[in-house]
Amino acid sequence: MTTLSINAERLLGRLCDLGQIGRDGDGRLVRLAGSDSDKAGRDAVVAWIRSAGLEVTVDRIGNIFGIWRTADNADEAPILLGSHIDTVIDAGIYDGCYGVLSGLEVIETLKAAGYAPARPVAVAAFTNEEGVRYAPDMMGSLVYAGGLPVEEALATVGTDGAILGAELERIGYAGSEEPSLIRPHAYVELHIEQGPVLEREGVPIGAVENLQGISWQRITIKGEANHAGTTPMSMRRDAGHAAARVVTFLRDRARNANTPTVATVGCMSFEPNAINVIPSRATFTVDLRDPDEQRLQTEEAVLAAYLEELAAAEEVTISVERLARFKPVTFDRGIVELVEEASRKRGLASKRMTSGAGHDAQMIARIAPSAMIFVPSLDGISHNPREHTPDADLVAGANILLDVTATLAAR
C-alpha cells in the first residue's frame, strides 16, 4: 500500500477558491480566455505556484508553467502535468482546474516528502482549451505542440471582436518565451470524466487509453424566403426544413449504428428568423466523433453525400466550412499501465476507457508520451454548474497522479 498522499484540504480548498473567481452578476462562473476573469484566475494560480517555490514561466501564447528543478536534474526533460483553467459560460468548478491544481499539489507533496526526482516536474495551465471566445479549442496546447503557428494564434479574432494577442498583453500574460522552449519527457493529465461511465459502473479510476477523433463543420443552406401563408408546401425552397432533415439524418444514423460514433448539431440559426417567413438561410454546426479514424472519415463522407442529395431534392444550395479536425489519439501504453498499477496498489478499481471529450493531452501526445486519468462525474454532467465529483474521488485521483508522477520522474 502506498503511504504518501496529497494534502486533501489544500487541494479541495484551492478548487473551491478558484471556483469563485470569475462569477458574473448572476453568479455564473465565466472565465473566457483573455478576459479579466481569466486574468484573475491566472493570478491566483501563479500565486500558488510561487508559494510552492516553483519557477514560473509564461510563453507567448499565454501558457503558464510552474517548474520544479534541482541542480541534479536541471538539464533533463521534465515530467509535465496539467490542464487548463479557462471555462465555458456558466461552468462547473472542476473541468480543467482539477488537473492544474492536482498537478501543483503533487509537486508540493513530493517536495515536502524530500523526494529527489531524476527529472524536473512541471505543471501547466494551457490557454484557451475551451474555445468559447477564440477558435479552435485546445489552442494553447496545440500551439505548444507545434500544430498551429503562434503568430496565427495570436491574431485570432474572438466572438466579441477582440484579438487574442492584444488581450493577453492587456491582462499581462503575453509571455516572452517561445512555446517550444519546454519539451516534456512525458505528460499526464488528471480530469473529471465529464461522462457517466465510471459512476454508473462504480469504478473510481479511469485509465484513459485513447481519445476520440473530432470533426467540426459549419453548414450553410440557402433557399428562398417567401410568405408562410401563401406559398404551397410543394413550391417551397425551405432552408429550415432542409436543415431539420440533416439533424434527423445524423441522429438516426448514429443511433442505429453498432459503433461508438456520436453526432451533434449544437448551433443553428435561421434567416430572416421571422415567424411568418420561410427561412432563406439556415446555418448550423455538425460535431462528429469516433475513436477510429477510418470510421470518422466514413461518417464525413456519408454526410457529404447526403448533403449533395438533399440539395437536389430540396432545391437549395449547401456549402460546408471545416472548423476543426483532429485525428483519434492513442495514449502511451506504458503510462496507462502505470495508472492501473498505481490503482491496484491503493486498492482502487480502474477501467481502461476512451475519452469522448477533447483535452490538452491529445495535443501533447504529438510530442511526448501522454495519458490521462479520469475520476467519476456525478450523473455525467459537465460544462454546467451542477458538475460535481465527490471529494473522496478527487483525492483518490490526485493520489494516483502522485504515484504515477513519482514513478515517471524517477526514471
247-287: per-residue pLDDT in tens? 999 999 999 999 999 999 999 999 999 999 999 999 999 99
8 A C-beta contact, residue 395 and residue 8: yes
Statement: residue 56 has pLDDT above 80: yes
**The pLDDT value given to residue 185:** 98
For residue 44, CA distances in Å to 18, 22, 173 come to: 7, 11, 13
Residue reference for cell 490526485:
398
CATH for 216-326? 3.30.70.360
Average of pLDDT values for 77-93? 98
CATH for 8-211+328-410? 3.40.630.10
8 A C-beta contact, residue 17 and residue 100: no
Residue 51 to residue 48: CA distance in whole angstroms: 5
Query: Do the domains 8-211+328-410 and 216-326 sit in the same CATH topology, yes or no?
Result: no
What tens digit of pLDDT does each residue of 187-227 get? 999 999 999 999 999 999 999 999 999 999 999 999 999 99
Length reported for the chain: 411
pLDDT band, very low/low/confident/very high, at 3 (cuts 50, 70, 90) = confident
**The pLDDT value given to residue 1:** 39
Q: Provide the grid cell at 43.
A: 493570478
For the chain, the domains span: 8-211+328-410, 216-326
**The pLDDT value given to residue 261:** 95
Residue 120 to residue 57: CA distance in whole angstroms: 14
Q: Which of 173, 86, 83 is nearest to 134 (CA)?
A: 86
pLDDT band, very low/low/confident/very high, at 181 (cuts 50, 70, 90) = confident
Residue reference for cell 541542480:
71
**The pLDDT value given to residue 324:** 85
Q: Which residues sit opposite 126 in a β-bridge?
A: 84
Statement: residue 2 has pLDDT above 60: no
8 A C-beta contact, residue 8 and residue 391: yes
DSSP tag of 142: H
Q: What pTM value is reported for the model?
A: 0.89
